[in-house]
């Protein structure tokens, strides 16, 4: 495996320009996983939104959660939709249900040999993939699980 799961520069994270989700990216840089939570009604939500989707408060915080979850769904992608992905085929995109906040379906790559068949329900641990300007939260099967 190369240093990064997918080639850099193809689809790097973009800031929205209004600060939405900045705390998440800062935490990932420090190898911490955080999820957005409403400070008023205490509801969790993901991906970050500008107001609470339950009570519409904009008093939202990011709380640290354990970097652990289970594989909820996946797809193994074989067809390159842009030229730069051709060298990376196949690759696996996973949906991970967080142990601490089961309502959250977090997206990441599953860092296994891509010809291995993933098993829905298997335990996963977050891995922090540091790029020069950002950190991606990736997932791998939990060792010894």
Partner 1 sequence: MEAYRPGDAAVVGVGESEYYKHGGSPRSEFRLCLDAALAAARDAGIDPHDIDGLATYANDRTPPARLAAVLGLREWKWCGVEGGGGGGGGGGAVQQAALAVASGVAKCVLVYHAVAQGQGRRRGTAIPRRPGDSFWVPYGLRTASHLYALRVQRFFHETGISPTTQRAVAMASYHHAQKNPRAVMNGRPLTVEQYEESRWIAEPFRLYDCCLESDGAAAVIVMRGEAAEEGQQPPVYILSAVHGSGYRSGGIIEGVLDAQRFATADFASLADRAFSGAGVTPADVDAAQIYENFTGGVVMSIVELGFCTPDEASDFIVESNLIAQGGRLPLNTSGGNLAEAYVHGMEMHPEAVRQLRGTSHNQVDGAKVVLTASAPMVAPTGVVLYGSKEALG
Give me the residues that bind partner 1 (CB under 8 A), please: 5-6, 11-17, 20-21, 44-49, 53, 72-79, 81-82, 85, 88, 90-91, 93, 95, 103-109, 120, 136
CA distance to 43, 44, 52, per residue, from 40 (Å): 8, 11, 9
Q: How far is the CB of 142 from partner 1 (least distance, A)?
A: 19
Q: Which is nearer to partner 1, 40 or 72 (CB)?
A: 72
> What's the rounded Cα separation, in Å, for the pair 69 and 73?
12
> What's the rounded Cα separation, in Å, for the pair 10 and 19?
22
Residue with structure tokens 């520069």? 9
Q: Which is nearer to partner 1, 21 or 67 (CB)?
A: 21
Q: Which is nearer to partner 1, 13 or 42 (CB)?
A: 13
Q: Which is nearer to partner 1, 121 or 144 (CB)?
A: 121
Q: How far is the CB of 33 from partner 1 (least distance, A)?
A: 12
Q: Which is nearer to partner 1, 73 or 145 (CB)?
A: 73
Q: How far is the CB of 59 from partner 1 (least distance, A)?
A: 19
Q: How far is the CB of 18 from partner 1 (least distance, A)?
A: 8
Strand runs labelled E in the chain: 33-38, 44-45, 60-65, 68-77, 91-98, 105-109, 123-130, 135-141
Sheet (strand 33-38) strand order:
44-45, 33-38, 60-65
Q: How far is the CB of 144 from partner 1 (least distance, A)?
A: 24
Q: With contact defined as beta carbons under 8 Å apart, do 74 and 94 qualify?
A: yes
């Amino acid at each position: 495996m190369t240093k990064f799961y997918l080639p850099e520069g193809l689809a790097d994270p973009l800031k929205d320009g209004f600060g939405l989700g900045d705390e998440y990216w800062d935490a990932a840089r420090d190898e911490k996983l955080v999820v957005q939570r409403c400070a008023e009604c205490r509801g969790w939500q993901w991906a970050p939104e500008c107001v609470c989707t339950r009570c519409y408060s904009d008093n939202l915080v990011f709380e640290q959660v354990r970097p652990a979850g289970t594989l909820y769904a996946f797809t193994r992608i074989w067809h390159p939709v842009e030229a730069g992905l051709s060298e990376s085929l196949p690759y696996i995109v996973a949906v991970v249900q967080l142990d601490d906040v089961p309502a959250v379906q977090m997206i990441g790559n599953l860092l296994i040999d891509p010809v291995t068949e993933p098993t829905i329900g298997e335990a996963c641990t977050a891995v922090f993939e540091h790029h020069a300007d950002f950190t991606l939260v990736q997932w791998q099967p939990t060792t010894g699980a």
